[in-house]
A and B are shown apart, each in its own frame.
Chain A
Amino acid sequence: EAGVAQSPRYKIIEKRQSVAFWCNPISGHATLYWYQQILGQGPKLLIQFQNNGVVDDSQLPKDRFSAERLKGVDSTLKIQPAKLEDSAVYLCASSLDRELAGGETQYFGPGTRLLVL
C-alpha cells in the first residue's frame, strides 16, 4: 500500500513570499493532519480534517496559514506571507478513522522542509 505522499520535499523562499504544500493521504483514510515540526522540537498539530471538514484548527495561525481538503482526499497547506519563524518541517499524516479500533494510528509522510530567508 502506498504511503502518505507530500510535495515538494524542500522549499526555500524569502520572507513575505507565499508557499503551498501538498499532501495525498493513504487511500481510504478519512482523517488528515498537518503538523509543524520546528528544529529540536516534536511535531505540533496545525489542523485536523475528518473527510473534508475541519475537526481542530486551534493551533493554526489563521492570519497567515490556511488549509483545505477539497473532496476529502488531497490537502493543501498555504502560508501567506511567510515569516522567518515559519522555517520548519511540515508533516502530513493520515489515519483510517479515529472511531474504529486501531483507526487512530497516524501514518506520516516524509515532510516538506521549508526555509524562509
Chain B
Amino acid sequence: AQSVTQPDIHITVSEGASLELRCNYSYGATPYLFWYVQSPGQGLQLLLKYFSGDTLVQGIKGFEAEFKRSQSSFNLRKPSVHWSDAAEYFCAVGRNRDDKIIFGKGTRLHILP
C-alpha cells in the first residue's frame, strides 16, 4: 500500500526567506502526488499536483514542487515566504486516477516577522 511521510511537524522561517517542505512517499510505480494547504478554520486547498511529465511542477501562490523518483520525494518550495503563508501543509499520494489519496500528517509552517 502507498504511504506518505512528512518528516517535519513544525517549520519556522522568517518572512522573505526561502522555504522547503519535505515529503517522501512509498509506492512502487509513479504515484499521483499532491500538496494541499490548510489555513486555520479553512478547508484544504490544492496548491499543485503531479501525475506525469515535467518533474518540476508550478502551483498557485508562488509554490513549486519537484518530483524525484530516485529519492521518492516530492518537496514543496517557495523562494520567498509571506506572513500569509503560515498554515498547515499536507502532502498526499494516490496510486492512480481512480484511487483514494493518502494524506501525510502535515507540516505546520510558522512565519517570523
Contact = CB atoms under 8 A, between A and B. Distances in A.
Interface stretch (A13-21, A43-51, A68-76, A79-87): A43-51
Contact of A105 (B43, B46, B100): B46
A43 B104 CA distance: 8
B interface, over-half SS: strand
A45 B92 CA distance: 12
Interface residues of A, number: 22
B11 interface: no
Interface of B: 32, 36, 41-46, 49, 90, 92, 94, 97-98, 100-101, 103-106
Contact of A91 (B41, B43, B97, B106): B43
Given A42-B103, A104-B32, A98 B45 contact: no
Contacts of A41: 105-106
Contacts of B106: 40-42
A40 B105 contact: yes
Q: Which 10 A-B pairs have the closest CB atoms?
A: A42-B103, A108-B43, A108-B44, A110-B43, A45-B100, A43-B103, A109-B43, A104-B97, A42-B105, A42-B90
Given A42-B104, A110-B41, A110-B42, 16 more contacts: A4-B43, A40-B106, A42-B90, A43-B44, A48-B100, A56-B100, A99-B97, A99-B98, A105-B46, A106-B44, A106-B46, A107-B46, A108-B44, A108-B45, A109-B43, A110-B43
